[in-house]
Amino acid sequence: MVGFGQNLYLWRVFKGLSQEELAKGSGIPRPNLSAIEKGKKEISISTLRALAAALGIDPGVLVNGIAPVCFKKLDLSRESLEDIAEIGLGRSAGPPREGQRALIGAMLSAIIRNRANALNGIYKKALKSRRNYIANWLMLKAALGDNALNNLLSRLAKHMELKSRKRRG
């Protein structure tokens, strides 16, 4: 589960709004909105209601940390996590996967690409890439939890390291 500010950020990005647009729609100054998203500012119930109304969602969705994309029915068995890791590495073969697993695989692929770019010094190339990285990271954290996400990323890092050694060796 993600914190309130992170969840607010996810919903804002999911709805395709800039901070400026959400600030205008909710009547909350943009610097305050930024501080809320970063977890540096507490909010009142009236602010919560204004933000939820501007996003077109129930206030409880923000408070309860319910991410815009829900993976609750996803099988997180070891076999399923291995399958997701393969999708994330772009090595998926065979019949089409369940939509949720494919979506998680796509999000993991984006995180992997961003990390690879960072290692190659391309990280500062595009701000949009960084925003996508943060949104994907938070979405997966909300959907999978810290342990499953860290497990997947650890497995992917090992696969990438082995792949890199094979190229050099």
pLDDT in tens, the chain (169 residues): 678 998 898 888 888 889 999 999 999 999 999 999 999 999 999 999 999 999 999 999 999 888 786 555 556 666 766 776 676 666 665 555 565 566 666 677 777 666 666 666 665 555 556 677 777 778 777 777 777 777 777 777 777 677 777 777 6
Same domain, 133 and 107: yes
C-alpha distances out from residue 153 to 45, 84, 146, 168, Å? 37, 11, 10, 22
Same domain, 98 and 162: yes
Look at residues 40, 63, 86 and tell me which one is the last residue of a structural domain.
Answer: 63
Whole-angstrom distance, CA of residue 114 vs CA of residue 133: 7
Look at residues 34, 63, 92 and tell me which one is the last residue of a structural domain.
Answer: 63
Same domain, 36 and 98: no
Q: Counting beta carbons within 10 angstroms of the beta carbon of residue 128, is it exposed (0 to 12), middle (13 to 18) or buried (19 or more)? A: exposed
Same domain, 122 and 149: yes
Range of the domain at 98: 78-168
Look at residues 63, 86, 106 and tell me which one is the last residue of a structural domain.
Answer: 63
How many domains in the chain? 2
**Greatest CA separation found in the chain?**
61
C-alpha distances out from residue 113 to 4, 25, 69, 135, Å? 27, 34, 21, 14
Tell me if 144 sits within 8 A of 76, measured CB to CB.
Answer: yes
Same domain, 106 and 134: yes
Q: Counting beta carbons within 10 angstroms of the beta carbon of residue 54, is it exposed (0 to 12), middle (13 to 18) or buried (19 or more)? A: buried
Whole-angstrom distance, CA of residue 134 vs CA of residue 65: 16
The encoded tokens of residue 22 equal 């959400």
Q: Is the dihedral of CA 83, 89, 94, 96 positive or negative?
A: positive
- In terms of pTM, does the model score above 0.95? no
**71 within a domain of the structure (yes/no):** no
Same domain, 51 and 82: no
The encoded tokens of residue 65 equal 């940390």
Report the candidate in 106, 51, 54, 114 with the shortest Cα–Cα distance to residue 84. Answer: 106
Same domain, 96 and 137: yes
User: Residue 110, Cβ neighbours under 10 Å: how many?
Assistant: 18
**72 within a domain of the structure (yes/no):** no
Same domain, 128 and 82: yes
Same domain, 124 and 159: yes
